[in-house]
Structure formats: structure tokens, C-alpha cells
Amino acid sequence: MTRIVVDAMGSDEFPVPDVQGAVAAAREYGVEIILAGDEARIKPVLEAANPGNLPIRIVHAPEMLTMNDKGEDLAFKARHKDAQNSMAVGIDLVKKGEADAFVTAGNTGAAMVTALFRLGRIRGVERPALAPVFPTATGSCVVLDIGANPDCEAVHLYQFGIMGSIYAEKVRGVKNPKVGLVSNGEEEGKGNHLVKEATPLFKASKLNYFGNVEGKEVIGGKVDVAVTDGFVGNVMLKTSEAVAKLIVDKIKSAIKSGGPLALIGGALVKPALNQIKKLLDPSEEGAAPLLGVNGLVFIGHGRSDAFAVKNAIRVARNAVDAKVLDAMKSAIEESLKK
């Protein structure tokens, strides 16, 4: 049975969404759940969720990392061998082989630093990358990096491409994924210095390299993996989320203010609008993988509800079942032989 550690102190409203989502996942996906966090706060929420005989247990972690933990203080709490915060305790279970993956809706920076210090990197990977899935006209696209590495070198983008391709194939089920470099033009030769330096690495690789892609090609579904640095990727992510929310809000506002006929029309198109809302809702995916660390780590939004946490656990389970970490290690090893 797949074993997933959930940071029960992760979300903004912890531990309620974290625990409720974990119980729902154990019930629906047949996974074993380990809740890392303050047992005194977790236990009553768990009991209220009526877990019955589901395989769920608590590992006590009396401390937690928050948005206030930064710099040297964060580094100390992330790497200290006897750290008792929920992220460190949970990730250590993965490192010791007592769990298969770690899921958190906590501070993204803290999760990345803790995972990097406690798990280390896959051999040959210089920079781990966050890789969420964007909805597209033809399905979905893995985009990386979206914030872990604002400043990158060409070799980092190449490694992102390898990891993103493996993830798209093994977890998303895309055969021979098309990989593109995010640029300000489709033509080769366009882009900043980083894109131009990375292009020869991609062209000489075994990746199914598509070439340069603009934002419209990413959303249009031209590629299955879009590679960029964390600065551009983060801007893409936040802009796309804001635009999606704007569209949904504007449609709702137009229906409400359009009079009786608009309300009738709104009722008729409600099923279609719900499908669109589901497509654009990040909680459907739940969490993004942190690719490149020597273990499976998934990071969700702080505002995650129980539904998002449940889906994050599903995504983590799929990655475990697909043996994506082993595949990624093999692909990176192969790239080092050049």
C-alpha cells in the first residue's frame, strides 16, 4: 500500500482541511496516511472525520514552519538533525523509507528548503524545480520552473526539460512529450541570452524538442512541457490564475446584471460553466511536484481546502505508482554520459 505523509499543519486553516482531505484520500484512493504535526490539535479533527479502520496514524511534530521563517532561521530549522517541525519530520519519513511521498500546503519556500537539505538532490541535478500543470486547449502542460529558481543557467533549463518530460510521460500519461522553451517568439534565435544558450542543449538531446514557444502556444496546447526560469514561470502562473478568475467573475457578473433573460440563459449554460470552472480550478490538481530532490515532495496552495488536499494526495500516489523518481534518476544519469 502506498504511504503518503501529509503535513497536517500546512494549510492556512490547519489542521482541518489537511486532516479532512487526508481521510477522504485514504477512503477513496486506498492509501496509507501519516499525519505529521501537533497530535493534540490533529487528534480531535481526525476523530470528528470518522476515519473508522482506515490506515491513518499520527506522527507527533510539535513545531511548524511559517511564512515568518526566513533566511538563516529557516535554514537552521530546515536542516537541524533534531528538527521537530512538521515538514522536517514528514520529509524524514520519506528519507528513511517509511513513507513514499510527502504532501504539504505549507510555506512553499520552507518546503523547498527543507526538502533540499534533508533529501538532497538527484545526482546530476543542480537545481530542483516546481512543476505545476497548466490547463490547455488540448489537455494540460507541465510548466517548470514556477518559482524555485528566479535566476538560472542554460544547463538548469536543460535539466528541467528532462525532469518535466519524465513527469509528463510517467504521471500525466503523455507518450513522447513535446518540450518547448518559453520565449518571446517562436522562431529560433528569438529570446533572451538564457534561451539562446539553452537551445543547443535541447536540440542535441534525446528530448522531443519542439522549439521556442510563446505563452499562447503553451495555453494552445502546442507542447506538453514548457521550460523556463522561475521568474518568468512565476509570472506566467500568477497571471494565468488571475485571468482565469477574472473571466469566471465577469461571466457571473454579466449573468446577474443582465436581467431575467440572462438569468434563464445562465441557468441553461451552468453545466458548461461548471466544466470550465473545474478546468481552471488549481484545487483539481492539488499540488505541484518539486522535481529534482531525492524523494517525492508535493507542494500545494496555502489556501487549500480538503478537496485540494485530497487531490494532492492522489497526484502523489500516481507519482509513486509510476515510479517517476527512479525514471528521473535514470534519465539524468543518461544525460551525464554525454
Which residues lie below 8 Å from residue 320, measured CB to CB, with a gap of 6+? Answer: 2, 4, 100, 101, 296
Residue 115 in grid coordinates: 526538502
Give the number of other CB atoms < 10 A from CB of residue 171: 21
CA neighbor of 138 nearest in space, from 248, 207, 226, 223: 223
Q: What is the mean pLDDT of the chain?
A: 91
pLDDT at 279: 64
DSSP per-residue letters across 178-208 = EEEEE-S-SSBTBS-HHHHHHHHHHHTSSSE
Domains annotated for the chain, with CATH where assigned, are 3-129+285-324 (3.40.718.10), 133-282 (3.40.718.10)
Identify which has the larger pLDDT, 308 or 75: 308
The Cα 258–Cα 12 span in angstroms is 36
pLDDT attached to residue 337: 72
Q: What is the pLDDT of residues 80-97, one digit of tens each?
A: 888 899 999 999 999 999
Q: Are strands 129-130 and 178-182 parallel, antiparallel or unpaired?
A: unpaired
Q: Are the C-beta atoms of 191 and 109 separated by less than 8 Å?
A: no
Residue 262: the pLDDT is: 65
Cis before residue 15, ω within 30 degrees of 0? yes
pLDDT of residue 334: 83
Distances (CA, A) of 73 to 62, 68, 110, 117: 17, 9, 11, 14
**pLDDT at residue 131 greater than cutoff 80:** yes
Lookup result for grid cell 526539460: 161
Residue 281 has pLDDT above 90, yes or no: no
Q: Is the pLDDT of residue 8 over 80?
A: yes
Query: What's the rounded mean pLDDT across residues 193-210?
Result: 95
